Amino acid sequence: MYPLNRNRRLRSCSAIRDLVRENQLSNNDFIVPLFVVEGKNIKKEIVSMPNYYQWSLDLLEKEVKELWKIGLKAVLIFTKVDDNLKDNRGTEALNKDGLMQRAIKTIKNSVPEMLVMTDIALDPYSSFGHDGIVENFKILNDATIDVLSEMAVSHATAGANFVAPSDMMDGRVLKIREALEIEGFFETGIMSYSVKYASSFYGPFRNALDSAPGFGDKKTYQMDFANQKEAINEAMKDLEEGADIIMVKPGITYLDIINSLSNKINSPIAAYQVSGEYSMLKIAEEKGFLDYNQVMIEQLFAFKRAGASMIASYHAKEAVKLLNQY
């Protein structure tokens, strides 16, 4: 009761604020998404994602060294595939000398301790731009997860530490886990995009990878953004199937989901702050409407507060440089 309780006492100077701070943000919290392209000496800015780049393998090597140096220890790789390599079954995804497989090896050669995570879905390899195999305008579930499990084994063989299925087919985590076990990849983890919504915040990413769906949308596999209980269901099923980390995506608009999951499950939760979220802040910065650095840090703390153990974010590098200043 006032004046016995004055909440402002615990805010009166930065030393006490630091002592009572409930959540911390550091270099240990981040996964860095990386876009990889064919070619040499390429560091190409993505038009829809200012100050974010596509890398050719030679420059990727240097970039991951730099990430490691500033304390960023996990990367999530996406590759841009040439149109002439795309087909309905995503055949190129299984090429042991494909861009993804070479990217994994390049990173592991450059910084062996770097935790390498890879995206598992067919969309960058699909002539239809869908995450699964298409038949009569439908996305086939079971045929797709057969290919995804082979893809996971192929990434593990190249040296990936974690595979991250982002396709939202049913039963894919179990299929992938079984395939990895059969091939002896007991230590390869699965970070499942268990709770992935059909979101328009992915627009700039699809632009970066030229992976927008050729027909229709992804609503028959990605979740309806009106739903919350379904998220718990998806996460529980994936844990039963052998997922090690549960991801929620997109991020800021879905903090309620992260929070309700963190009250329900004991496994680590990853938040994915997606491309559209990044681009919005960048554009607001360019316009001079927002203090970019401050808003970025505020949003990143929101993920921790909601209950995320880690954050995949295009801000990771900028954020860590800023946090080092304190």
- Residues near ligand PBG (CB under 6 A) are 119, 121, 123, 131, 166, 202, 205-206, 274-275
AA letter at 156: A
213 C-beta neighbours (distance < 10 Å), count: 16
Closer residue to ligand PBG in complex, CB, 123/234 = 123
How distant, in Å, are the alpha carbons of 88, 89, 167, 220, 223 from that of 140?
Answer: 11, 10, 12, 10, 17
Q: How far is the CB of 12 from ligand PBG (least distance, A)?
A: 40
Closer residue to ligand PBG in complex, CB, 131/234 = 131
SS3 content of the chain, % helix, strand, coil (to 5): 45, 20, 35
Q: How far is the CB of 279 from ligand PBG (least distance, A)?
A: 9
Q: CB within 8 A of 195, min separation 6: which ones?
A: 223, 231, 234, 235, 246, 247, 248, 249, 254, 257, 261
How distant, in Å, are the alpha carbons of 154, 170, 286 from that of 247?
Answer: 22, 16, 30
Closer residue to ligand PBG in complex, CB, 3/213 = 213
Closer residue to ligand PBG in complex, CB, 132/307 = 132
Residue showing the smallest CB distance to ligand PBG in the complex? 205
**Catalytic annotation on 287?**
no
Q: How far apart are CA 80 and CA 70, in angstroms?
A: 26
Displacement of CA 261 from its chain's centroid (Å):
18
Closer residue to ligand PBG in complex, CB, 10/150 = 150
Closer residue to ligand PBG in complex, CB, 156/312 = 312
Q: How far is the CB of 121 from ligand PBG (least distance, A)?
A: 4
Closer residue to ligand PBG in complex, CB, 53/183 = 53
**Catalytic annotation on 304?**
no
Helix (H) or strand (E) segment spanning residue 102? helix 99-110
Q: How far is the CB of 294 from ligand PBG (least distance, A)?
A: 22
- Catalytic-role residue among 196, 218, 282, 304: 196
**Which of 114, 113, 93, 116 lies closest to 104 in space, CA to CA?**
116
Q: How far is the CB of 204 from ligand PBG (least distance, A)?
A: 7
Q: How far is the CB of 53 from ligand PBG (least distance, A)?
A: 14
Give the start-end residues of each E strand in the chain.
Answer: 30-37, 43-46, 49-56, 74-79, 115-120, 133-135, 138-140, 162-165, 189-196, 245-249, 269-273, 310-313
Q: How far is the CB of 90 from ligand PBG (least distance, A)?
A: 11
- Catalytic-role residue among 175, 218, 249, 304: 249
Task: Match 């990173």 to its residue by tokens.
Answer: 107
* DSSP assignment of 242-253: T-SEEEEESSGG
Helix (H) or strand (E) segment spanning residue 206? helix 203-209
Residues with a catalytic annotation lie at 196, 249
